[in-house]
Amino acid sequence: MGRLYWSGSRDDSKHVTKLKYQLKTQGFNHVLDLSQDGAQPYFMEDTIHIGWRGWLKMDQTVRPFLKTTKAAPVHYKLNDDFYTTRWQQRSANGLN
């Protein structure tokens, strides 16, 4: 099977910006951004499945959380606006 990689194009970058904004504003503060790693061989199997190198990075990132004896309370603020067509069509410009 051929390898599919994140292209690094400006359009892809805008999608990543919107996704990170959406997660952060809803209280998801521990998000592993793998968007810059997709060009490494064996990092991705296809557009949605990580390869063995991706799993290695994921494991290294998650390990400290598994060693924590008690998780801190998390307060997510789910926002239904992110399900709207308006959000889907919104530009990533101005989002942090």
For residues 26 and 61, the answer to whether their CB atoms sit within 8 Å is no
Whether residue 7 is predicted with pLDDT greater than 70 in this model: the reply is no
- AA letter at 88: Q
Using one digit for the tens of pLDDT, what is the confidence trace for 26-75? 999 888 898 889 889 999 988 889 999 999 999 999 998 888 877 778 88
Domain definitions of the chain by residue range? 10-89
Residue 11: the pLDDT is 62
Beta partners for residue 44, in sequence order: 50
- AA letter at 33: D
> What is the DSSP secondary-structure string of 17-58?
HHHHHHHHHTT-------TTTTTSTTTBSSSS-B-HHHHHHH
The whole-number average pLDDT for the span 13-18 is 88
Whether residue 12 is predicted with pLDDT greater than 70 in this model: the reply is yes
